[in-house]
Chains A and B, each alone.
Chain A
Amino acid sequence: MALRKDVRVDAAPAVAFRHATLADREDLLGRIMLTPALVYVIVLVGLPFALAILLSFSAASAGSLALSWVGVENFATIIRDSQFQRAVLNTVFFTVTSQILVTVMAVAAANVLDAAFAGKRAMRFLILLPWAAPVSLASMAWTWIFDSTFSVINWTLKVFGLLEGWLYWFGDPALAMIAIISVHVWRTFPFATVIVLAGMAAIPQDINEAALIDGASFWRKLFQVNLPLLLPIVTVSVLFGVVFTSTDLSIVWLLTRGGPYNSTHVLSSLAFQRGIMGADLGQGAAIALFLLPVLVIVATVMLRMARRAEVGV
């Protein structure tokens, strides 16, 4: 630092506002900047949410603006409704089955993507396509793939001699459910894969190396080292998955409209059918509200995990 003695720095002009102004007041600024978001969320999520509860206790129709209080009548009606009972079972089955499949596939795919091989980046890019494509358009592609006359799946099974008769994918309740679950798994496993992959990247490399030096076999390493370490991130992925799956409307609606014979309705598609198509907002809202416990549970678990992470800093 060759300091030169002959140079002097002149005094700078004085600061314009010596005292704290609004632009300095962090507490006020913080509130002002946060308020629009809070207002938006409260007015357009909080209030509609409350309105959903209100609607479920009223006989509201899309046409009229009046809300007439009917108490628990909507709930009493739908609970006795066999379509509703079917929809509850379908929702549970749809959610549980697809989440198991998604999780297994995601952990497997993440392990593949974690290894080093040629074409890894390309695989990652391609595997993510289903999640990135708009759900309604992807569902149309699948509708076409499952088409009763032109199904390429049937053709392929036939050619390999795996199919005796004919599969009418959307004509049979069991096949329709299989189709719905397949499309949903196809669409969400990439998302879960990326989450798990992110979690794997966070596992310190030396743990893996220590396990290798200990001479742990692949399976022991998987079950005693990798999976326990992956558990938190897999939980996050399952939590998101449960929310996205149990409340998903698009796939069922686009593939089957709840058919055949209303056998594949889930809660959300039934709520749409009754509430929007049937214009019985009250009953639709009551049906949708049965999803609330799932959301409350997921939110609670997430909050607990967030708190633990906060303490663990």
Chain B
Amino acid sequence: MGYVETRNLHKHFGEVEAVNGVNLSVEEGELVVLLGPSGCGKTTLMRMIAGLEKPTSGEIYIAGERVDEDVPPRARGVAMVFQSYALYPHKMAGDNIAFPLEAVGMARLAIREAVARAAGMFGITHLLRRFPLQLSGGERQRVALARAVVRSPKVFLFDEPLSNLDAKLRATARFELKQFQREIGTTTIYVTHDQVEAMGLGDRIAVMNKGQVHQIGTPQDVYDDPADTFVATFIGSPPMNLIEHDAGTLVGFRPENFLPRQIFGAQDDVVTYRFRVRRVEYLGSDRFLYGVLEERQRSDQTVIADLPVTITTPIAEGEAYEFAVPCRAQRQFDARTGKTGKRKTDGAA
């Protein structure tokens, strides 16, 4: 059994099935990212684990104990960092961090020590006597993290905690968050709709859509071996090309694997296509080529090629070229169900 586990979890809001039969198993010390478009149920799933939402049916276990029936949020041993950081506006930063410890009746002196230590960890000792309104976005985030750490929870729950930071700050904050989680080793569930964040942070990623987990695996797994066409097109930018192979099968390949034929050696195992380029986009480090495959029946379907700057082959708009994909980079999907034929990953039962 995983450290955090949900079994056949459902949550219905009236007609809407926000979470529809999720079996998730998170190992101790692991950081799992719940990734999906907005409305996919990832936040609802996290809120059910926290105890803020009662499941319609199904079971939730934390550290081997069933919690969904009779354990209120306060007793689940989870700490959560909201997107808004949810600092108590009427308390100073130090009192914000102390608040979870007051709840369990810790002695005042011990609280002061614990707060000082948590503040030291995040370098916010000088901010403890300020009110949240007097703090910057990054400082607020640190206070929220210190408050989450201070009572040594069994599980961290993060609900898009970086989305309020500006882009520059976000990259470093992501790195620091990952470092911090590694060091402290607390099991973590992290919700985001940003795949870059998910790829960078997650030990494993659970890709969700319409209330279901489509795939759970390492970042490399979900990128290289998407379980179905949703994952294939949701992960990666630009997304995986999907073309009709024959009746009932779709072939998928990543744009960066779709390169001019002459790049590959003669004996390489490749599939060759005739690619008519309609538009070229220069993006500095990459060239994106938009076009169609000529011998295909549905020739209007746009296919994208992503050429790194190291490939200098001249490409002109309107011309057709020989392009190829290595066979090992091709993936096959059932056209009807969207599921891949061979699936390497496990995790989601």
Query: In the complex they form, do A and B come into direct contact, defined as C-beta atoms under 8 angstroms apart?
Result: yes
Contact A20 B106 (CB under 8 A): no
Q: Give the residues in chain B near A2, CB-CB below 8 Å.
A: 122-123
Q: Give the residues in chain B near A80, CB-CB below 8 Å.
A: none
Q: Give the residues in chain B near A18, CB-CB below 8 Å.
A: 71, 75
**Chain A proximity of B67: nearest CB distance (Å):** 10
Q: A1-B176, A3-B176 are in contact. Are A13 and B106 (CB under 8 A)?
A: yes
**Pick from B74, B117, B150: contact of A24, CB under 8 Å:** B74
Contact A20 B72 (CB under 8 A): yes
Q: Is B180 an interface residue (CB 8 A)?
A: yes
**Pick from B71, B122, B152: contact of A12, CB under 8 Å:** B152
Contact B142 A12 (CB under 8 A): no
Q: Give the residues in chain B near A11, CB-CB below 8 Å.
A: 152
Main secondary structure of the interface of A (DSSP, over half): loop
CB contacts between A and B, total, < 8 Å:
65
CA–CA, A4 and B118, complex, Å: 10
Contact B152 A10 (CB under 8 A): yes
Q: Give the residues in chain A near B149, CB-CB below 8 Å.
A: 9
**Pick from A7, A20, A24: contact of B120, CB under 8 Å:** A7
Q: Give the residues in chain A near B151, CB-CB below 8 Å.
A: 12
Per-residue contact bits, chain B 117-155, to A (CB 8 Å; 1 contact, 0 not): 110111100000000000000000010010001111000
Contact A1 B104 (CB under 8 A): no
Which residues of A8-39 have CB atoms within 8 Å of chain B's CB atoms?
A: 9-20, 24
Contact B72 A12 (CB under 8 A): no
CA–CA, A18 and B72, complex, Å: 8
Q: Is A307 an interface residue (CB 8 A)?
A: no
In the complex, what residue of chain B is closest to A19 when comparing beta carbons? B70
**Pick from B104, B122, B142: contact of A15, CB under 8 Å:** B104
Interface size on A, residues (CB 8 A): 19
Contact A24 B179 (CB under 8 A): no
**Chain A proximity of B138: nearest CB distance (Å):** 9
**Pick from A3, A4, A13: contact of B105, CB under 8 Å:** A13
**Pick from B74, B105, B117, B173: contact of A1, CB under 8 Å:** B173
CA–CA, A167 and B309, complex, Å: 96
Q: Is A121 an interface residue (CB 8 A)?
A: no
Q: Give the residues in chain A near B71, CB-CB below 8 Å.
A: 18-20
Q: Give the residues in chain A near B177, CB-CB below 8 Å.
A: 1
Q: Is B15 an interface residue (CB 8 A)?
A: no
**Chain B proximity of A2: nearest CB distance (Å):** 5
Q: Is B101 an interface residue (CB 8 A)?
A: yes
Q: Give the residues in chain A near B122, CB-CB below 8 Å.
A: 1-3
In the complex, what residue of chain A is closest to B110 when comparing beta carbons? A10
CA–CA, A290 and B67, complex, Å: 58
The chain B residues found within 8 Å of chain A, CB to CB, are: 70-72, 74-75, 77, 100-101, 103-106, 114, 117-118, 120-123, 142, 145, 149-152, 173, 176-177, 179-180, 183-184
7 A-B pairs with least C-beta separation? A1-B176, A12-B151, A24-B72, A15-B75, A2-B123, A18-B75, A13-B104
Subset of 28 A-B contacts with CB under 8 Å: A1-B123, A1-B176, A3-B179, A3-B183, A5-B183, A7-B121, A9-B114, A9-B118, A9-B121, A9-B152, A12-B100, A12-B101, A12-B104, A12-B114, A12-B151, A13-B104, A13-B105, A14-B104, A15-B74, A15-B77, A15-B103, A15-B104, A18-B71, A19-B71, A19-B72, A19-B75, A20-B70, A24-B74
The chain A residues found within 8 Å of chain B, CB to CB, are: 1-5, 7, 9-20, 24
